[in-house]
A and B are shown apart, each in its own frame.
Chain A
Amino acid sequence: MALSADEAARFAVVLEDHQEALVTVWTERVASTLRGRLSQAELQRQNTELRRGFQQALAGAAQDLSGESAAELRAQLSELSSTRARQGFSATETAVSIFAFKEAVLATLDAQDSTNASTLRDYVALSALVDEAALFTFDSYVRVREELIADQTEQLLELSTPVVKLWEGVVAVPLVGTLDSARAQVVMERLLQTLVDTSSPYAIIDITGVPAVDTQVAQHILKTVVAARLMGADCIISGIRPQIAQTIVALGIEFGDIATKATLADALRYVLAQTSKKGR
């Protein structure tokens, strides 16, 4: 049941005339659902603005949320969802803040004497608009959260693949966590670039922090080693724990002539022995 132009205009007047009472009731309701995690003053400010948004939309004869006159309101709702999402509120808590607007309007209507059947019809029509607004909040909330997650995934990718210089001519990549294709790609690029930048002849790939080495992980590591070799660098794989060694054997993965060591310290000792042998 969409809002007619008449009804919209009537509510615009109600929202304007009773703004203070309305915002007070609304803020109380929202505050009780958020249990003090947002200050009363902050809520009051948000609701005052949102009330103005609703009022302007209605004054502009908005029949639903998609109209031109509701553009301002939509922007405010997106803004609200985005701040709530970043503050860690749940989607329900965010949407309920909007639903509570209905209760506030009802309380305002109750306070008037002229409550009758037509008021009820009006209210149901307005209710549809508020529902739409709440659903819109819900949608924007989910979108903001998805953006947040995508950002964090990217940051994590950057964070979890450092290439460190261990010694003169020796760089190391300590791998931690799951090595999927995206991360393997980042690792390979970083390692190869660092090899060039530091002109290191040795690279150590440490897999102590990789919980399970399956064929996909092994394949990624092997490809990285081959690429490093093409650039003239020798790769050593370290951090092969007993259970990983047995699993690799059972799987039948061959590391060929690639040097592998149990610990990073062993790998470094091995590299230093190699360099002193070559008299570098």
Chain B
Amino acid sequence: MNEPAQRIEVASDQDVVRVRQLVRTLAVAVKLSLVDQTKLVTAASELARNTLVYGGGGWVEVAQTDNGRRKGIRIVFSDQGPGIADLDLAFTDGYTSGGGLGLGLSGARRLVDEFDIVTAAGEGTTITVTKWCR
């Protein structure tokens, strides 16, 4: 059965660091490879920062998960911010509405195995990502 999820409120840069540390700890616990650990931690860092910078803060939930054959890590990022009006545009490499490189959202999707996003203008954003052990 799945372990209980651990939740971190994201309201400052320090919280992004805490998310990263928690994800790394759990990724090591389910024995993700070093490359996958680094990819997942980096994706978590990107998305948690998006939650903070674009969503105006929110929460992140990290949990171990299991699909019967493989173990993995599932992370949920949720905010009540302005939401994303144009998803295609947001996933375009190099597009940013802030001052970043415009690679965070699209890059994070490439770093994980499963990526699910629920958003609408004015209704916040919830992103769920999963990385499975190989």
State the A residues within 8 Å of B (CB): 178, 180-181, 211-216, 218-219, 242-244, 246-247, 250-253
Total CB contacts across the A-B interface at under 8 A: 65
Q: Could you tell me if B111 and A212 are in contact, using CB atoms closer than 8 angstroms?
A: no
Interface string of B1-29 (1 = CB under 8 A from A): 00000000000010001001000100000
Residue of B nearest to A242 (CB): B35
The dominant DSSP class at the B interface is helix
**Residues in B neighbouring A181, C-beta threshold 8 A:** 13
Instruction: Give the complex CA separation of A252 and B106 in angstroms.
Output: 9
Q: How far is the CA of A216 from the CA of B13 in the complex (A)?
A: 12
Q: Are A251 and B110 in contact (CB under 8 A)?
A: yes
Q: Which residues of B contact A219 (CB under 8 A)?
A: 100-101
Q: In the complex where A214-B49, A215-B101 touch, is A251 in contact with B42 (Cβ < 8 A)?
A: yes
The reply to whether B101 and A218 contact each other, CB–CB distance below 8 Å, is yes
Which of A218, A242, A244, A252 lies at the interface centre, i.e. has the most chain B CB atoms within 10 A of its CB?
A252
Most buried by B among A181, A212, A219, A252: A212
Interface residue count on the B side (C-beta < 8 Å) = 24
Given contacts A180-B13, A253-B103, A214 and B110 within 8 Å (CB-CB)? no
Given A250-B107, A252-B106, A252-B110, verify A214-B45 contact (CB < 8 Å).
yes
Interface presence of B46 (CB below 8 A): yes
> Besides the contacts A214-B49, A246-B35, A251-B42, what 20 more A-B pairs have beta carbons closer than 8 Å?
A178-B17, A180-B13, A211-B41, A213-B42, A214-B45, A215-B46, A215-B101, A215-B103, A218-B101, A219-B101, A243-B34, A243-B38, A243-B39, A246-B38, A250-B107, A250-B111, A251-B110, A252-B106, A252-B107, A253-B107
Given A243-B38, A246-B35, A247-B39; A215-B107 close (CB under 8 Å): yes
Min CB–CB distance A184 → chain B (angstroms) = 12
Residues of A within 8 A of B106 (CB): 252
Separation in Å of the B129 CB from the closest CB of chain A? Answer: 13
A211 → B minimal CB distance (Å): 7
Point out the residues of chain B lying under 8 angstroms from A213, CB to CB. Answer: 42
Question: A247 — which chain B residues lie within 8 A by C-beta?
Answer: 35, 38-39, 42, 111
